[in-house]
Amino acid sequence: MKKRMIVFFLKMLILGPFWIATMTLLINNGEWHVGLYSFIGFLIASSFVGVKKQTHIGSKREIVITSGLILLCFPIVGLLFHCNIIKALLAGVVLLMGTYSFLLVAKLVLDKISSGTNKN
C-alpha cells in the first residue's frame, strides 16, 4: 500500500504538469481544465493497476514501438480536430518526456525503498 501511494503522488507531481501542458497544447482556446479532468480520470483508472505494471519501462523494442505510435497518433489527432500538426507533435513529445521522467523517478524511488526495507 505504501508503494501504491508513493506512485500515486509521483504521478501527480511529475506526470501532472506534463499532462496538463500536453492538453493545453492540443486545445487551442486555453481550456486547461479539460486537461485537468482527463488527468484525474487517468489517475483514477491507473489506481487499479499494480505498482510493478505502472513502473515497468519495458524492452528497447517496446519503448521504440510505443514512442513511435504516440508520435504518430498525436499529429493524426491534430489533423482530425483541425489543430496545428506541429503543436500536436510537440504535445506528443511533451507527454513522452513526462512519462519517461515519471518512470525513471518512480523506478529509482521504489528501488531505494525496496533496498531500505531489505536491510532491516
The pLDDT tens digits for 71-80 are: 888 888 888 8
Q: What is the pLDDT of the chain when averaged over all its residues?
A: 82
The answer, yes or no, to whether residue 120 has pLDDT greater than 60, is no
Domain range for 52: 2-119
Note the pLDDT of residue 103.
Answer: 87
CB 53 within 8 A of CB 35: no
Segment 48-67 mean pLDDT:
81
Residue type at position 48: F
**C-alpha cell belonging to residue 45:** 483508472
* Residues with Cβ within 8 Å of residue 37, at least 6 apart in sequence: none
The model scores a pTM over 0.85: no
CB 101 within 8 A of CB 14: yes
Total domains present in the chain: 1
Give the torsion through C-alpha atoms of 60, 8, 38, 99, to 10 deg.
-20
The answer, yes or no, to whether residue 96 has pLDDT greater than 70, is yes
CA–CA separation, 21 vs 64, rounded Å? Answer: 23
